[in-house]
Amino acid sequence: MHEQSATGPHHTTTTERGSFAVARCTCGWAGPARRSRDRARTDAADHIGATDDRDARAQGRP
């Protein structure tokens, strides 16, 4: 997995493989395979939230 620059946007998608759903991001991140589509979407939202927090810290914001 590679990290995207602090200034680049993250865009997530959720795809299905059989009975599993996987969240992925343009930065290369991928969540675990989930049987619950809602949980895969939550994984994606958590990833976006974590990257927003990390980006804010990198720019010196609390």
Q: What is the pLDDT along the chain (62 residues), one digit of tens a residue?
A: 444 444 568 899 999 999 999 999 999 999 999 999 999 999 999 999 888 777 667 777 66
SS3 26: coil
Asked whether residue 4 is domain-assigned, the answer is: no
Range of the structural domain that residue 32 is part of: 12-58
**Total domains, the chain:** 1
Asked whether residue 19 is domain-assigned, the answer is: yes
- The model's pTM: 0.71
End-to-end alpha carbon distance in the chain: 26
Count of C-beta atoms within a 10 Å radius of residue 51: 20
> Beta-strand (E) ranges in the chain?
12-17, 20-25
Residues 6+ apart with CB under 8 A from 37: 14, 16, 21
